[in-house]
Amino acid sequence: KGALLGPSGSIIQAGFAANLDRELGILEDKGLYEEDSRFLPPASLAGKAVRPTFTGPLDVLRRSAEARDT
């Protein structure tokens, strides 16, 4: 089942990731990460990209199939 659903799951996750990037960009433009913001990330994350990691059951199946095929 995971092999059959994996490709569509990847497409859905790519859409979620694109939406998240867009939303974080909008929030950043509105001052999300300014010095006085309570959402200011720690200094250890300065200059690093933030990206989602999907951990749902479908993603676990897809990744296990990818690992098996390599």
Q: What is the pLDDT of residues 24-50, one digit of tens each?
A: 899 999 998 888 989 888 889 888 887
The whole-model pTM stands at: 0.61
Confidence of residue 51 (pLDDT cuts 50, 70, 90): confident
Question: Of residues 63 and 29, which shows the higher confidence score?
Answer: 29
Among candidate residues 63, 45, 46, the one with its CA nearest the CA of residue 54: 63
Percent of the chain with pLDDT over 90: 17
Does 2 have pLDDT greater than 60? no
Number of domains in the chain: 1
DSSP letter (8 states) at residue 56: S
Which region holds residue 23: left if phi is over 0, alpha if psi is between -120 and 50, else beta?
alpha
Which range of residues forms the domain containing residue 18? 2-69
